[in-house]
A and B are shown apart, each in its own frame.
Chain A
Amino acid sequence: MANNKKIRNFSIIAHIDHGKSTLADRLLEETGAVAKRDMEEQVLDNMDLERERGITIKARAVRLDYKADSGDDYIFKLIDTPGHVDFNYEVSSSLNACEGALLVVDATQGIEAQTLANAYLAVDAGLEIVPVINKIDLPSADVDRCRNEIEDIIGIPAEDCPAVSAKVGLNIHDVLEAVVRDIPNPEGDADAPLRALIFDSYYDSYLGVVVYIRIIDGTLRTGDKIKLMSTGAVFEVTAVGSMEAFGLKPRGELSVGEVGYLTASIKNISDTRVGDTVTLAENPASEALPGFKAVQPMVFAGIYPEDGARYEDLREALLKLQLNDAALTFEPETSTALGFGFRCGFLGLLHMEIIEERLEREFNLDLITTAPSVIYEVKTKDGELRRIDNPTDYPQPDDIDVAYEPIVKASIITPQEYVGALMDLCQDRRGIFKDMKYLDNIRVELHYELPLNEIIYNFFDALKSRSRGYASLDYEMYEYRASKLCRLDILLNAEQVDALSFIVHEEKAYARARKIAERLKDNIPRQLFEIPIQAAIGSRIIARETVKALRKDVLAKCYGGDITRKKKLLEKQKEGKKKMRKLGSVQVSPEAFMAVLKLGDDN
């Protein structure tokens, strides 16, 4: 049995791009968990998507064995966490499995919005924070400024904190010693009935569901009969062990304080819920651990297979993703335009993009996604309060008494020269200015109350483009507020296309309607007849465009009898037509839907 005085469970948290994954790589290398020659960049980010985008989406856990300078052997459990605001729920669930966190700060950037947000999450979870200043090899690194910021802004001592370069492998040893010295060992009652916290899980087609757990009390062994406390479901454990850099390693037992995995021939994806407590069936704990705050999806969109026949595949894929992504929700919906699909809930736009990309790559699906929406609350004239996550369900204007929309508290950290431009942006997005404070003589933090539906409408891209990428955004749900909202419908050839409807503030309706109509006009291929495009609120048409009839589509010359070339041309044309969806009498390409979805106001 491992001596829990010699166990250190910790996470690494950081602002995006401050070098978290690189530091994790270095720790793996330094402790010999990964031989240098096997090292590839971002070992822990084993999704292709993560490596490509250079971000961490899923938390990862790995065991490191470390012989400290004191001569004692330690077991480290390192949990790598995502850095983006959309994935905070991943961070918080991981943090609950730890006693401490390394807070990585980029020596050239200092504290950023997400550094703070993550630091607060860690503090909330009762973790000991060990700051690590990274990227000290860069010429613009300012270690002293960084130490001051950490002390001033976060309020933790940073005088002796390690200053490293994960990239070149400088001072990594200091980090390992700091982990031993500053992060407390886990506590817990080895003799009490088993209580283990599920902090992540995923589906493996060979092992079934693999559940990541942290043992809070007691011991878990292979062969034990376990019970999941929320559902009462009982399983026999087929293996327990630890997560190594390159896979799972069975260890026979996990004892108090340890982080590891279990498998129990769990087939049903919905059985394991992150935050649930695992106990023994025969000697159950009396009380479950406090679970995590259930994550609430904030952004909704319809996802449809391009090929209607792949509806079942899409359902399977969503189920599999949902297993280790508690924040993803979905339920079936039907659209007259797009057929059968799912209304999915996401934490934010990045989360939505990631899910789409994973569906397309890992499950080889071609998708059509509708414009994202948020949950609105509508009090109808007959006094009923309805929650609307699908624009199609939005009542007619005459039936609405009051409509409410979600408002978030947003904090934007930006170099001061962009303050003007960003205030204009927030103003334009119906933001209410709360306050502004200087973090130091360069950076400013702006606080706004912003409608969430403005944020999901390309806000992030606009923010980045107006600040040359320097500004960062964090937001949290604040309240529902009465607002003048309306549903904008799109009609093609006088037929309403349900999948293109969306909800918008009255003031924005005209501009948005015109833009969408224009976009559609540019993206709907011309056909043999003229296609009117109309945008309407209720029965009132507020914008119109026309896709002119195709007049000329003919190959005038067959070059010296080159028939093959002409035939290839027609084949390509036919291929293109196959991808079209017939909406009433109009053929619409998937690109047209995308064009509306990706509608930005800066371009």
Chain B
Amino acid sequence: MFGKKNRKPLGLYIHIPFCKSKCDYCDFCSFVPNNKGVVEHYTDALILQMEDWSSRCRNYSVDSVYIGGGTPTYLDIRRIARIIDAAYSNFKIEKNAEFTIECNPATADYEYFKKLRRLGVNRLSIGCQSTHANELKALGRIHSFEQFKACFEDAREAGFDNISVDLMYGIPEQTEQSFIETLTAIASLGPEHISLYALKIEDNTPFAAMRDKLVLPDEEAEYSMYSHAVEYLATRGYERYEISNFCRDGAASLHNLKYWHCDDYLGLGAGAHSYFEDERFSTTRVVRDYIDGLEIIGSDINIVASSEKIDSAECMDEYVMLGMRLAEGIVVADFEKRFNTSFAEKYGYRFDEYLEEGFIIKDETGYRFSSKGMFVSNYILSDVLELGE
């Protein structure tokens, strides 16, 4: 009924909640499985969930797939292949779609990467976080920088020409100097993309329990680490296109841009989030419930953990909240086209008081944060957005 041209774009996110070891700061939906059975069942359940969604997504054309975790490469290649095959058979995935998989050092080797490439995976996101042994240890990570480098080189060898590296700042024992060293070492490897996240201590993590004992860089140090990263990476050809994301040669993550642009994405797997047909919803983080809910016929377990219809006022708030994360900010013409509402009347005037102090930059296309504004964006956004006021 729809020709290919008429299909709407969709991002597909697939969550693999397994890890070899859980990092002390992590509050993602991930755990160390105690038997192979759960991994097998989970894979089955994931495929069942794809089948459930298959028909509802007939009119969508998937232009980005992102397999995240956890550590997706914790699964052996046979299971990953089953999942990817099922994705191809249940969704219309475009030929040149961005296809990312996350991986941690020492979980995948050259052979593994080679096979991933053959399965159509064309982008890799590797968790490095730091190049310093003491910092990696403080984070509770189980790999060394040497293992990361080996992993990176294997991936290159296997033909990955679009690699992203995750780094963190504000981690225990980190100094401005050690952070500069991390940046330098990574930039020298020349990945196409770098994600730079600030450590945030989340409730119910081992870090939260030992908060008082952690030696963390203070806010000033974090600010200067971040500012330095923005400056330094620019000299190495990386532009910051989003608060935490840098890329060279236009290799921005298409998948992440869907989040910032309020575009549709479907999240599959335990703990996954979706924005689909004006609704935000999430799937249970309880892996047992996820598996039983899908596998047991007639199960009364509801695998939907939360869902919320987003009306147009809320959608506008979200659009601004997320769009302002991007370096390009809000393009007024795009906003007005999408919502048929004057941006100036709705939000523009509220941004004005921040113009003078240089937190916000306004030009002929729209509004965006300055570098210092970006770093206090929550403060400003909580003031500017309506958020049901």
Known A551-B219, A567-B387: A561·B243 in contact at CB below 8 Å: no
Cross-chain contact B198 with A563 (CB below 8 angstroms): no
Number of interface residues of A (CB under 8 A): 26
User: With the chains together, A280 CA to B370 CA distance in Å?
Assistant: 81
Cross-interface CB contact of B377 among A554, A563, A564, cutoff 8 Å: A554
Check B147 for interface membership: any CB of A closer than 8 A.
no
Cross-chain contact B244 with A557 (CB below 8 angstroms): yes
Q: Scoring A residues 557 to 588 as 1 if CB is less than 8 Å from chain B, else 0, what string do you get?
A: 11111111011011101100100000000000
Main secondary structure of the interface of B (DSSP, over half): mixed
Cross-chain contact A570 with B68 (CB below 8 angstroms): no
Check A528 for interface membership: any CB of B closer than 8 A.
yes
Cross-chain contact A554 with B374 (CB below 8 angstroms): yes
Number of interface residues of B (CB under 8 A): 49
When C-beta atoms are compared, the residue in chain B nearest to A568 turns out to be B387
Cross-chain contact B280 with A563 (CB below 8 angstroms): yes
Cross-chain contact A556 with B200 (CB below 8 angstroms): yes
How far is the CB of B259 from the nearest CB of chain A, in Å?
A: 5
Contacts of A468 in B (CB 8 A): none
Cross-chain contact A553 with B378 (CB below 8 angstroms): yes
User: With the chains together, A572 CA to B262 CA distance in Å?
Assistant: 22
Cross-chain contact A553 with B379 (CB below 8 angstroms): yes
Check A433 for interface membership: any CB of B closer than 8 A.
no
Cross-chain contact B197 with A558 (CB below 8 angstroms): no
Contacts of B335 in A (CB 8 A): none
Check A1 for interface membership: any CB of B closer than 8 A.
no
Check A470 for interface membership: any CB of B closer than 8 A.
no
User: With the chains together, A564 CA to B274 CA distance in Å?
Assistant: 10
Q: Scoring B residues 60 to 72 as 1 if CB is less than 8 Å from chain A, else 0, what string do you get?
A: 0000000010000
User: With the chains together, A569 CA to B196 CA distance in Å?
Assistant: 21
Contacts of B226 in A (CB 8 A): 552
Check A529 for interface membership: any CB of B closer than 8 A.
yes
User: With the chains together, A557 CA to B256 CA distance in Å?
Assistant: 11
Check B15 for interface membership: any CB of A closer than 8 A.
yes
Check B306 for interface membership: any CB of A closer than 8 A.
yes
Cross-chain contact A560 with B272 (CB below 8 angstroms): yes
Contacts of B267 in A (CB 8 A): 560-561
Cross-chain contact A561 with B317 (CB below 8 angstroms): no
User: With the chains together, A58 CA to B196 CA distance in Å?
Assistant: 63
User: With the chains together, A551 CA to B15 CA distance in Å?
Assistant: 34
Check B343 for interface membership: any CB of A closer than 8 A.
no
Cross-chain contact A577 with B382 (CB below 8 angstroms): yes
Cross-chain contact A560 with B200 (CB below 8 angstroms): no
Cross-chain contact A550 with B376 (CB below 8 angstroms): yes
Cross-chain contact B376 with A553 (CB below 8 angstroms): yes
Cross-interface CB contact of A571 among B196, B274, B388, cutoff 8 Å: B388
Check A442 for interface membership: any CB of B closer than 8 A.
no
Contacts of A551 in B (CB 8 A): 219-220, 222-223, 375-376
8 Å CB interface, A517-571 against B: 527-529, 550-564, 566-567, 569-571
How far is the CB of A587 from the nearest CB of chain B, in Å?
A: 10
Known A554-B378, A556-B244, A574-B383: A563·B389 in contact at CB below 8 Å: no
Contacts of A553 in B (CB 8 A): 375-379
8 Å CB interface, B50-104 against A: 68
Cross-chain contact A558 with B259 (CB below 8 angstroms): yes
8 Å CB interface, B303-349 against A: 306, 308, 317-318, 321-322
User: With the chains together, A577 CA to B15 CA distance in Å?
Assistant: 36
Cross-chain contact B322 with A563 (CB below 8 angstroms): yes
Cross-chain contact B198 with A554 (CB below 8 angstroms): yes
Contacts of A560 in B (CB 8 A): 13, 15, 28, 68, 267, 271-273
User: With the chains together, A132 CA to B103 CA distance in Å?
Assistant: 80
Known A561-B267, A571-B388: A528·B357 in contact at CB below 8 Å: yes
Known A562-B273, A562-B282, A563-B280: A552·B321 in contact at CB below 8 Å: no
Q: Scoring A residues 492 to 527 as 1 if CB is less than 8 Å from chain B, else 0, what string do you get?
A: 000000000000000000000000000000000001
Check B275 for interface membership: any CB of A closer than 8 A.
yes
Known A562-B273, A564-B282: A557·B197 in contact at CB below 8 Å: yes
Check B48 for interface membership: any CB of A closer than 8 A.
no
Cross-chain contact B357 with A567 (CB below 8 angstroms): no
Check B183 for interface membership: any CB of A closer than 8 A.
no
Cross-chain contact A554 with B318 (CB below 8 angstroms): no
Cross-chain contact B243 with A563 (CB below 8 angstroms): no
User: With the chains together, A167 CA to B60 CA distance in Å?
Assistant: 76
Cross-chain contact B378 with A574 (CB below 8 angstroms): no
Contacts of A561 in B (CB 8 A): 13, 258-259, 265, 267, 272-275
Contacts of B241 in A (CB 8 A): none
A to B CB contacts below 8 Å, 6 in the list: A529-B357, A551-B223, A555-B200, A558-B259, A561-B13, A577-B383
Residues of A at the B interface (CB closer than 8 Å) are: 527-529, 550-564, 566-567, 569-571, 573-574, 577
Q: What 10 pairs between A and B have smallest CB-CB spacing?
A: A573-B382, A556-B198, A551-B223, A553-B378, A553-B379, A561-B273, A574-B382, A556-B197, A570-B382, A562-B273
Task: Apart from A552-B226, A561-B259, list 17 A-B contacts with CB within 8 A.
Answer: A527-B379, A528-B354, A528-B376, A551-B222, A553-B376, A555-B378, A557-B244, A561-B258, A561-B265, A561-B275, A566-B321, A567-B318, A567-B387, A569-B378, A573-B379, A573-B382, A574-B383
